[in-house]
Structure 1
Amino acid sequence: MTAQRIDIDKVQSTFSGICIDLISASLGGSIVSFSDEFFASASNLITPTAPIQRAGHFIASGAWYDGWETRRHNPSTADWVVIKLGVPSGVVHGVEIDTAFFSGNHAPAVSVQGVFLPGGMPDETTEGRWETILDTQETGPNQRHVWRLERPAEKPVSHVRLNMYPDGGIARFRLLGTVVPVWPDDSEAIVDLAHVANGGFAVSCSDQHYSVKDNLLLPGRGENMGDGWETKRSRQPEHVDWVVVKLGAKGYLEEIIVDTLHFRGNFPQAVEVYGLNAETHDVAADDARWELVVPKSKCAKDTEHAFSSTMMQNVDGKVVSHVKMVIIPDGGVKRLRVFGKRVVGA
């Protein structure tokens, strides 16, 4: 797989608006197995926050590091860790290896492999099925290394294996790509079309000063206010904030849920939801085709505001590809759920 190294100042423009981190712990990414984690846990690799340093802090195994670190003098060619994606499967477009704060003990080189095992887990029988995603690449100390795959793999993967040669430390591992949903066999099933695991994607928003729009589509209801979407306080009359979400598949809307869990003094006063059908990934917030789906509704703290089809308008027989949630005038929302019947083949 041919890869091109990307300058750090171009990472955002290269992947933003298209890709997510497929192995992030916030999505449900998890460590399956590893060769060694003597100095620091492999689970740190998929922590969604940036790595930190605690200089001079020591634990039983040695100096504390926010990353994955193996012991010295590995007799094998490489140390490795196997990770299950946080979504059913995905196509990889880029790889990031961050060696922040590892200097003198960083991994000199890495490679990444992937495999698609629907409903299964890697074992000794999987060995011959691993395919190269990123061929062996040199790394350096205390820096982010990012590669864009010039021709993303056509096959989706459900698990990846990170190899580091021969041993050492890595702070974070990001697998940048797009979700390939696994849909129910029943085409009449009601599913959350906006959920990240089903390919939902937060395309754009008016503001994400305190926490990012992508959190709206994560699994579960989260742990605190920090893993929702929160905008700064507005001071202009008639101000509103908004977020545009592309659904993982076109569908007929059945229910929308706006969850304000953990937002108690900063939830929106009210919310509106709009829908439209488009063929493009990105749709402008001021597109003339938006139709009001959920009329202006009052919000409360710590509440799942559920809007059934009988409470919505402009949805009967209409296919929707994107939704726009408007919060009035500003504030925070934990999750946005858009339940509906998928349009098969659309």
Structure 2
Amino acid sequence: MTKKIIFTNGLIDLAQPRLGSKVIFKTDDFFASANRIINPLPAVFKEGLFDKNGKWMDGWESRRKRTKGHDYIILRLGKPGSIKKVNVDTSHFNGNQPAMISIEGTSSSSNKISKLKWKPLLSKKKTKANCHHFFTINSKKEITHIKFNIFPDGGVARLRLFGSISKSNGLKNKKTNLASLLDGASVIACNNEHFGKAENILAPGKAKNMGDGWETRRRRGPGFDWLILNSLDGKEIDKIEISTHHFKGNFPSHCSLQATFIPKSKNFKSIVNSSVKWKYLLKNAKLSSNKLHIFKNNLMKKDKINFIKINIFPDGGISRFRIYGKNV
């Protein structure tokens, strides 16, 4: 096994807009829109760019507070889930970052601000200029809404809430895409994602461009690239879709799929190490440029699976992956 394994441990950013997450309230965003704080792209700085209120900043920035209290935003998660890690990113905010931040959460079917009852997830923490602040959340509770507090005011470029989507119970015994990000599937590890995140292949819809898929660097030595995803528990696999849309001169030559069932395991290193011995769902499948490939599965027809390994040879990019079977 390569030593350069990227372990995501099944965590994704629950604040990303493609899950349906959105800012539903803000106390103030005079200098920079609160909506920018969940932009999935890294924050940028545009030298010399000003709008009618002042310097344009890529993030959320409130005006200087001249009354009591502090500023905050409320974020509704598109998919409920548990939050494990947080990244509060103050990139490019230097002299206008908050002094401190804190995070509260709740689980509620209501979007009425007055009905949301908050519980602390992260106590007050000091923040620095132009810096990524990583924090661990010690809570297993399912969260639907987040209250992000800044003290007393200022700007934050990005807020990332890394966790796990609660897997859907409404799909039991139904034929479905077992690799849907929206239903709780996630990537746990990959060997490379130099040009595009592995998680992208589980996203809904057709990829917008090459950056909206998984793409590895050009391989200059022996071997191949791979990722491992934790799917919904499934069996009776009858169709597999692999899309190389937008990948025209950088699609893989071919691919293979392996799968297994591992009950309630969180030892991701052992899962990766054992993956070389998993059974094949698909072997040496030829891939073409900018195309949706559909495969009818003839292997592991009766086996139960919840982990899938995608091997691409020797490198390159794929934009979407779907595997249809019965959720059990």
Task: Settle same-fold status: TM greater than 0.5.
Answer: yes
**Ranges of 4+ aligned residues in structure 1 off by more than 6 Å:** none
Report what 2:256 is aligned to: 272
> RMSD in angstroms over aligned alpha carbons?
2.3
Question: Residue 194 of structure 1 aligns to which amino acid in structure 2?
Answer: A
Note if 1:157 corresponds to 2:162: no
- Work out the CA distance in 2 between the residues paired with 1:288 and 1:265: 28
**1:286–1:181 distance in 2 versus 1, CA, 3 Å:** closer
Partners of 1:218 and 1:33 lie apart in 2 by 26
The counterpart of 2:74, out of the listed 75, 82, 85, is: 82
| Change beyond 3 A, Cα 1:198–1:44 | same
The CA distance in 1 between the partners of 2:41 and 2:242, in whole Å, is 25
> Gapped runs of 5+ residues in structure 2?
none
Aligned to 2:241: 257
Q: CA deviation at 1:232?
A: 2.2
Any conservation in 2 of the 1:22–1:174 contact (CA below 8 Å)?
A: yes
Map of 1:158-177 to 2, 5 A cutoff? 158-177=144-163
Is 276-285 or 38-47 further displaced after alignment? 276-285
One-letter identity of the residue aligned with 2:257? V
* Contact preservation (8 Å) 1:41, 1:67: yes
The answer to which of 277-286 and 76-85 deviates more is: 277-286
- Once the two structures are superposed, what CA deviation does each residue of 1:64-123 show, in whole Å capped at 9, x if it has no partner? 11110111225351212111224x211111222111222222111222111223xx4421
Q: How does 1:65-76 map to 2 (within 5 A)?
A: 65-76=57-68
Q: Is the 8 A contact 1:79 1:163 kept in 2?
A: yes
Residue type at the aligned position of 1:276: T
Write out per-residue CA displacement over residues 313-332 of structure 1, whole angstroms, 9 at most, x where no aligned residue.
33232101111112222211
2:36 is the alignment partner of 1:44: yes
Report the counterpart of residue 202 of structure 1 in structure 2.
187
The answer to whether the 8 A contact 1:271-1:298 is kept is: yes
Count matched residues: 320
Alignment equivalent of 1:292, drawn from 280, 287, 300: 280
Task: Give the distance between the partners of 1:285 and 1:324, measured in 2 at CA.
Answer: 12
Q: 1:301 aligns with which of 274, 289, 301?
A: 289
Are 1:90 and 1:158, in contact at CA under 8 Å, matched by a contact in 2?
yes
Question: Aligned equivalents of 2:113 and 2:311: distance in 1?
Answer: 50
Name the CA distance, whole Å, in 2 between partners of 1:252 and 1:25. Answer: 32
Checking the alignment, whether the CA contact within 8 Å between 1:276 and 1:289 is kept in structure 2 is no
Of stretches 276-285 and 255-264 in structure 1, the one that deviates more from structure 2 is 276-285
Name the TM-score, length of structure 2 as normaliser.
0.89
Distance 2:273 2:319 in 1: 21
Q: How many Å separate the matches in 2 of 1:124 and 1:205?
A: 40
Are 1:114 and 1:133, in contact at CA under 8 Å, matched by a contact in 2?
yes
Match of 2:318 in 1: 333
| CA-to-aligned-CA distance 1:5-30 (integer Å, 9 cap, x gap) | xxxxxxx99x8424222112344422
Q: Is residue 2:134 matched to residue 1:146?
A: yes
Cα distance in 1 for residues equivalent to 2:82 and 2:219: 39
- Say if 2:83 and 2:161, in contact at 8 Å, map to a contact too: yes
For 1:313 and 1:330, the matched residues in 2 are separated by 25
SS in 2 for 1:209: coil
C-alpha contact (below 8 Å) 2:193/2:217 kept by paired residues: yes
Does residue 100 in structure 1 map to residue 88 in structure 2? Answer: no
One-letter amino acid matched to 1:242: W
Mark the CA change 1:16 to 1:241 in structure 2 (over 3 Å): closer, same or farther: closer
Q: In the alignment, what sits opposite 2:26?
A: 34
Match of 2:298 in 1: 313
2:111 and 2:282 map into 1 onto residues whose CA distance is 45
Question: Offset of 1:173 from its aligned partner?
Answer: 0.8
Amino acid at match of 2:206: R
> Percent identity between the aligned chains?
31
- TM-score, L = length of structure 1: 0.85
Write out per-residue CA displacement over residues 198-222 of structure 1, whole angstroms, 9 at most, x where no aligned residue: 2222122232222221222123223
Alpha-carbon separation, structure 1, partners of 2:247 and 2:285: 17
Does the 8 Å CA contact 1:89/1:181 hold for their aligned counterparts? no
| SS of the residue 1:287 aligns to | helix
1:3 aligned partner: none
Does the C-alpha gap of structure 1 residues 170 and 206 become closer, same or farther in structure 2, counting only changes over 3 Å?
Answer: closer
Residue type at the aligned position of 1:42: A
Equivalent residues of 2:237, 2:297 under 8 A apart: no
